Structure 1
Amino acid sequence: MDALLILSGIVVAIIGWLWLVITSLRLPVGKLLLAALLPVLTLFRRDQGYARAPRLLLTAGCLTLLVGLAMLFHLHPHRFEKLVTGQWQPDQNRSQTIDGEIMGQRFRPERVFWRGDDLVLEEGPSERVRRSLKIRFAGAGALLDDASIALLPNDPGAWPEVIMQWHVGALESPGLRRVTGQYSLNLDFAPAANSGATLRLHLTLPSQHQTWITGEARLDQTPAWLEQVRQQQSRSTAVRERTATAPRQSGERPVARWQAISVLAVLDEPSVVGDAAVRVTTVSGRAHEGRFKGVTDEGRIVLAQAHGPNQVDLQFHPVDIRLLETFQSPR
């Protein structure tokens, strides 16, 4: 409605302006220039020879435009700000491709960064944030033992706290809501080309919150916990490689080894794996070890990992799996 009022007001005002200029051709040059360059001033100059009908049309157009702008400022302050500052075109240099909604409002964060134990997404100027979403891991630090985090409703263990802040309008108080569990979250961190890290995020809250986030973004700085995870993974990989290539002494029992199995075979008949230890290597090169838990109705392979007294279930889409292995005990 606000856009319709603004557009119709502009059109009506332009028609009234042109009509005013045409009817002012018979007037002296000074009055003609005033009608052509500053037509709004003619609305306040009575008995100056200006035609009444085009001035009424110009007035109607200006009033309609002002009403539309007032509605835009009240309902969509961020769009009003972009309009008055001339930022009509989308930013082609956006490094973030994350999109979604917060409490039913469109959410396109310009900044994604890690602060303390929080993953922070913000939309709007840094000095006046319009909407933000934080995923707080302070109470679920065990999840930060891996570069991939997957949570589904009813999963046991500690959950990150999701904190949402938003503005309904310029004249309304900002909203704040906290969600402590029972949502779906997939976070996958990968090294960036030069420095920092790239993350893929999929977050879906229960329907009453009207909130979902999906997409990919870049962190300019690598979080300290993620750097530690990468170092641990590098050391584990090096140990496995040395163990696999080490010469066997005479009479020594064969070492335990990993054996590759078909992903399709596991999807068709999960019982062939049972509850054995498995290792999943993703297409991005990261390896995840745990206990095989089964296959979901959506065809995702579920891997259970123990984190102290808690357990975290990781789900992997078949297209994201480069190698699937089971642990074979020595004979």
Structure 2
Amino acid sequence: MDALLILGGLLLILAGLVWLVMRAFGTSLLWGCASVLPPLTLLYVVRHWRLARPALGLSALGFIPLVVGLTLMANQDSQRLAAIFSLKWLEPEKQVPAELAIKLSGVLNGQPFQPQQGELIDGLLSLREGTDFFARREVSIRLPEPVAGAVRVDVLPEDSGALPEVEVSWLLPEQDLPEARRLSRGYTLHLDLQPVPPNKLAGDFHLVLPPQFATTLSGKVELFTDGLRYRDGKVDRTIDSTDTLAHVVEDYLRRRFATRDVQLQPLPAVALPAVNVEVTVDARIDGQAQQLPILLKKNQSRGWAVSGDRFPQLPEVASPAVAPSSEAPAAAAPERVSKPLDRRLRFSLESLLRSPSRYQNLTMRVLTERGNSPEGRFQGIDPDGRIVLRQRMSGQGEVSYTLRPEEITRIELLEP
């Protein structure tokens, strides 16, 4: 209502001014040209008051709804009124530089696809368009095994065996949940990605799905390989991610115990974004197992830090000189391989609600109060707080389940 009153008042004022100029042109061509300039317009009003009075009356009438509308807006939404009078909306929008250099051409479900986000973590490659909880359009490729270093994949439609699983999804304006299609064979895929320090992969991407999916993508992509983000060569601690918290905790433990021999175990699930996070950390420090309670706090400008951290930086380590030796070199110690974390051990409904992104696209089985037992891949939590599962049916069809947490009696994670 307030916006309509303001708009109506401005239109009346504008109509009065146009009428005034028309009256000035009716007086003479010279007065008409002069009335376009505000100072000379006042002179025309003074010299020809009888002709200018009706137009000025119409403009004055427009101030009534304008003032009423501004008063209503000030009472209901003062910040909106302040933003209007600040005139910041006249300034050109600043273009934020993209984090990733993604240059893809082609279509997804027949629509242009311009992803802004990309990552390859734990063997799952995803390209997303849009920043909402559900992407407007998304391509996900689950590789048969997690990879480290360079990635080279070539798949043809006639290939069989253990192939990457491709999923495309899109969200139409009139839909609450996205639609998705999943393929395990019958497509063309080419990936040639090379590591780019500190935590990216970059290279060629080519994907062609069968004609009924109307999806063809080709070009260059750049992908993050973890949740860390860098600024000026250093980790950006303002980013809300588990990897950022792990980096902060590991740096803190090294300085606290004055040693670089710190092996941090995966952090427990935490709910992000947050301002304070309290976790119990398991780590091996100088070969000894330690369990420490740690409180992390986020500062708006400096980002995440451990509460009470006053420990100095460790001194730089100089590279030792290599002395010549006639003895044969010792056999290299076997590389220590860390066992991947099995997320089924600590899985529960509470942990799923606290950190849904940790279990994205994993297969789950749910038992409801009515005795139903749906099973499918976890797609997230919708705006109403319901858990969304998606199950592939026979052929190329799929079905989605939306379940309220209070109707779930048991939930089971089926893969690590």
Q: How would you bin the TM-score normalised by the shorter chain? A: 0.3 to 0.5
Higher relative contact order (CA 8 A, sep 6+): 1
Instruction: Provide the TM-score with structure 2 as the length reference.
Output: 0.33
